[in-house]
Amino acid sequence: MVVSGFRRSLSFPNQSNKPRKTLHVRSTSLPCRSSSHPVISQLKDEISELKSRNSSEATCVSVCEGLKRLKIVHESLDDFLQLPQTKESLSCNSDLIEKFLEDFLRFVDVYGIFQTLFLTLKQEYLAVQMAVKRKDETKIAMHVKNLSKIAKEIGKLESSVQSIGKNYLFSDNFDAEFAEIIRDVIEVTVSVSVSLFGGLSAALGSRKPPRMGLSWKKVKVRQGIQEFQQINLETLMGLRKKDDEEMKMVCKKMQELVEDCMVGIESCGERSFRSLINTRVSLLNFLTQ
């Protein structure tokens, strides 16, 4: 029985129509009879484009761009899974399909949890903005505490997603190029997800000093998303020491954060979530056909 799921007939606003760039991709060590297929060439180009993006700055724009490109990769992966040569190669590796299916289920679960957490995060920012306008220090402290809890939960998602994609074993008869594509798709999905979850968690959470005995040079500090970093928990808790003009400025930045940055991340995250579901449905259909 064929499992149905979300298809790409769904329409979303503001989808980019920018033509995809053709980038150099590394070759595999073994020849592949399917290397000339345009679907595979397109998928490899899109993976390379996503890998080559500049992640030196963490901003709402860069995070959304990563999510948009990830959605495109998953859509091309869905097309790749429909190719006869792909099905032929996977049909002899049922254990690999199960592993791939399991990993995409974990991605779907993580993004489903994130959707709920991010909605709560947006509601808390709106609530703390209202408390700031009313100069209600008690409610400000309460909502800041809630934001801190959400930051920790999003940080757990970063840890969860980093463990996905381990221990992939490919048999000798498995197509080398197909194996590389599967590894790369998992790799870029983890990378974009870590940028999103880690960037939010780092921006919202309070910074902790490194443990005793560890050199600060050896401690990797996650770069927070800039727009959230500007209105972090320390800033909100310090509002009681600010004058009216400074508080108005913070309120304005918070409004921009919610209306522009958070709405964008919410929308792009939803699209990536649906593309993950579509890919898992394609894999599930493959097993049930």
Taking each helix axis from N to C end, the angle separating 60-81 and 84-91, rounded to the nearest 10 degrees, works out to 80
Q: What are phi and psi of 173, to 5 degrees?
A: -90, 5
CA distances (Å), 88 to each of 92, 100, 105, 166, 172, in order?
A: 7, 16, 23, 24, 15
Assigned domain for 15 exists:
no
Residue type (1 letter), 8: R
pLDDT of residue 239: 66
49-76: pLDDT as tens digits: 999 876 667 899 999 999 999 999 999 9
Assigned domain for 4 exists:
no
Taking each helix axis from N to C end, the angle separating 176-204 and 263-288, rounded to the nearest 10 degrees, works out to 150
Q: In percent, how much of the chain has pLDDT > 90?
A: 39
Q: How far apart are CA 235 and CA 250, in angstroms?
A: 9
User: Are the C-beta atoms of residues 147 and 103 closer than 8 Å to each other?
Assistant: no
pLDDT of residue 248: 80
Domain interval for residue 233: 38-48+57-206+222-288
Assigned domain for 32 exists:
no
Query: Residue 165: CB partners within 8 Å, gap ≥ 6?
Result: 103, 183, 186, 187, 189, 190
More confident site: 20 or 175:
175
Q: How far apart are CA 48 and CA 26, in angstroms?
A: 9
Mean pLDDT value across residues 44-53: 91
Map tokens 């595999």 to a residue: 28
Of 172, 205, 181, 230, the closest CA to residue 41 belongs to 181
The answer on pLDDT for 252 being more than 90 is no
Among 146-155, 228-237, 248-257, 259-268, where is mean pLDDT lowest? 228-237
Assigned domain for 273 exists:
yes
Of 178, 226, 179, the closest CA to residue 202 belongs to 226
Number of domains making up the chain: 1
Assigned domain for 13 exists:
no
In terms of Cβ atoms closer than 10 Å to its own Cβ (0-12, 13-18, 19+), residue 97 is middle
Assigned domain for 97 exists:
yes
The tokens for 266 are 């919410």
pLDDT of residue 242: 66
CA distances (Å), 202 to each of 32, 152, 220, 231, in order?
A: 43, 9, 12, 12
pLDDT of residue 99: 86
The tokens for 187 are 């790799």
Assigned domain for 11 exists:
no
pLDDT of residue 289: 67
Mean pLDDT value across residues 85-95: 78
The answer on pLDDT for 26 being more than 60 is no
CA distances (Å), 194 to each of 17, 66, 172, 189, in order?
A: 26, 11, 32, 9
The tokens for 201 are 């968690």
Alpha helices per DSSP H over the chain: 38-52, 60-81, 84-91, 94-134, 137-162, 176-204, 226-229, 233-237, 244-256, 263-288
The answer on pLDDT for 7 being more than 60 is no
pLDDT of residue 201: 92
The answer on pLDDT for 94 being more than 80 is no
Q: Which range, 38-42, 127-131, 236-240, 252-256, is most confident?
A: 38-42
97-143: pLDDT as tens digits: 888 889 999 999 999 999 999 999 999 999 988 888 888 888 888 98
The answer on pLDDT for 167 being more than 80 is no
Question: Average model confidence (pLDDT) for the chain?
Answer: 79
177-231: pLDDT as tens digits: 888 888 899 999 999 999 999 999 998 875 443 343 433 333 344 678 988 888 7
Q: Using pLDDT thresholds of 50, 70 and 90, give the confidence band for residue 6.
A: very low
Assigned domain for 199 exists:
yes
